[in-house]
Amino acid sequence: MKASFIFDGERVEIRRDNRDALRFVTYFVSASEPCLNACIAPMKAADGVETVDEAQVLAFLETKVGTNIGLALDARASHDRVGGFIPGSVMLPPRVVDPRNLGRDDVLRALGAREFDGVFNYADAKHLLIYDQGPATDDAGLLVRHLIAAGYPPEKIKYYRGGMQVWSVLGFTIEEGLG
Amino acid sequence: MSTKNLQDPVQPHVTFDSYVLPETVQYHTAQTTGLTVNGTILAVASIGTLTFVLGILVALQLAGPQQVETVAKVSSETQQAKPVSVTEGTDDQTVTRLRPADLLTPVSGGQSASEDIETLQAAVLKGLQPKRTIGKLTEQELAEKAREAQAIVNRNKLRMLREGVMAGVYTVKARDDGNGKRLVLETINAEMTRQSMGNLLLEAARKGELEIPASLNTADGNVDLDTLLFNLIQTSLAEDGTPEGAEAAREMSRRAFAASDAKTQQVKGDRIYTVEPGDSLAYISLQFYGRPNAYLRIFEANREILRSPDLIKIGQRLIIPKA
């Protein structure tokens, strides 16, 4: 199972042969329960948003990201992201599209929404694949809900619940750093 | 004394020399004579003049282009600046008025022909440029149109629809009609089908109560009744003079804009929309600007490929200026 596509002018190759898999698994593991309740993310992020598996992630990367009609969004904060992320994804923490954030509209426009008299139209907006650390966190779920609150069509959003935790266990290619 | 004395005192002798005509009579006689003479001269003179003029005219005509050229050149030179600036195609009257210049110019021959051909060609091409089938309306005409729209909307079923919109009890939906999704105004309190509204509008158009603008002709040759209806209601609300009406019209725009499913592409910094079956220029305007009557913005941005607002074709790629 693999994927190969162009992202930001660079060829990206994803395979299941990660020699550092164990290191990543250790890095992403979450054995404690820091939150009081509902620490495990639900299967469904929001109504109308499909939860996808790894094969669908790879297909999305090739057919949507590779053709520039979609974006893979990493909902984690940057300090989590530097430890490793899915190649071809970009960072978008939920608070950036929080309804209270004044800069939200700029982000929506950057995602392809067009604006008129305070309302947004998402016909040109990109397809999104959203993930985070994994089932142990709900950053992705929060990002999904913020986007839907802004009017983003749920059918344009996919939720990869497995996140980095499942991704690393399966030995998929992981990129490190600030990319 | 002798001769004079011999004369008959009763019958005085009057010689021609001594006879003096009374002034009144003299004047009268002189005038009569003068008139007769002058009349003859005039008649002769006018016949002469007429012949002379006719002769010149015939001569001119036979001589042809050479003489006329002077006239033509003068007129084309003096008007040269004008045709270029006014044949933009905004005013049909102006174009008509200038046509003689175009007709006369080709007459000019000789050495000036080669230098003028470019100017001439440019002027001719300008004049041949397709004209908009919709002109700019005056304020008065616009007001009149708005009144017409209101009058139609205030009638029976449409009135109910307008009230529904005013009350906010409606949706603007992108409904799939088999040809892709179309924006449609739907209300729940006005129990009428789209078909009956369509018939109503067509009937109004047939009776001459409503003029269907060219911008509502679709790429596949039909009339875009949904957009016409939307426009009627919106115009009627916008022009009713109340803040509520204006706000309701604005809300229609926002809902239509948000509901649109129209996709665009970025090409060299321009936003490009590809015309689909069922599209009219007004409908495209509705999707990107929330109102059908902003179509001129799209038309102006695409003058190079659009001959008229009613002549859009399926598959045509139109620049959509930013809202």
Distance linking the first and last C-alpha atoms of chain B:
127
The residue ranking higher by pLDDT, B136 or B210, is B210
Q: Which residues of A touch B253 (CB under 8 A)?
A: 116-117
CB pairs under 8 A between A and B: 32
Chain A residues 140-159 with a CB less than 8 Å from chain B: 151
B253 inside 8 A of chain A by CB = yes
pLDDT for residue B195:
66
Residue A11 in this model has a pLDDT that exceeds 90 = yes
Buried/exposed B67-105: b ≥16 CB within 10 Å, e otherwise? eebeebbeebeebeeebeebbebeeeebbeebeebbebb
pLDDT value, residue A23: 95
Is residue B31 pLDDT above 60, yes or no?
A: no
ipTM associated with this complex? 0.72
- Contact between A124 and B253 using a beta-carbon 8 Å cutoff: no
Q: What is the pLDDT of residue A83?
A: 93
Per-residue pLDDT, B78: 41
- Contact between B253 and A118 using a beta-carbon 8 Å cutoff: no
Q: Which has the minimum average pLDDT: B84-88, B131-135, B227-231?
A: B84-88
Question: Which CA distances in Å does A138 have to A49, A70, A145, A155, B116?
Answer: 15, 22, 11, 20, 77
Does the structure show a pLDDT above 90 at B159? no
| Whole-model pTM over 0.80 | no
Range name among A11-20, B176-185, B281-290 with the lowest pLDDT average: B176-185
Q: Does A43 touch chain B (CB under 8 A)?
A: no
The CA-based angle B303-B306-B308, given to 5 degrees, is: 105
Contact A116 B250 (CB under 8 A): no
For residue B118, what pLDDT band results from cuts at 50, 70 and 90? Answer: low
